[in-house]
Structure 1
């Protein structure tokens, strides 16, 4: 059996777990964006407000 065909199962499992965690994180992020959409950034005025 040649070495190039061998697969390190711990590395493959770590990749799979990482992908599952990324998927779960993206699902939660999308749920939050739907529940509480981020407000669009308001443009700040360049002038100081006038004193009254």
Structure 2
């Protein structure tokens, strides 16, 4: 068994694939939610005039 570096951990690969699928679904739901209810853009604060003394 001198070629141990070519072995693949199927459990880890399956977990990674499941994670990628869940991440893809999460991104789809996030995009749909943003289209349905867009987040309000942050309002810029107007620059205050210096106070007269």
TM category (shorter chain) comes to: 0.7 to 0.9
**TM-score, normalised by the number of residues in structure 1:** 0.76
Pairing of 1:1-52 with structure 2 (within 5 A): 2-44=3-45
Structure 2: tracts of 5 or more residues without a match = 49-53
Structure 1: tracts of 5 or more residues without a match = 48-52
**TM-score, normalised by the number of residues in structure 2:** 0.75
What value does the CA root-mean-square deviation take over the aligned residues?
1.5
How many correspondences in the alignment? 47
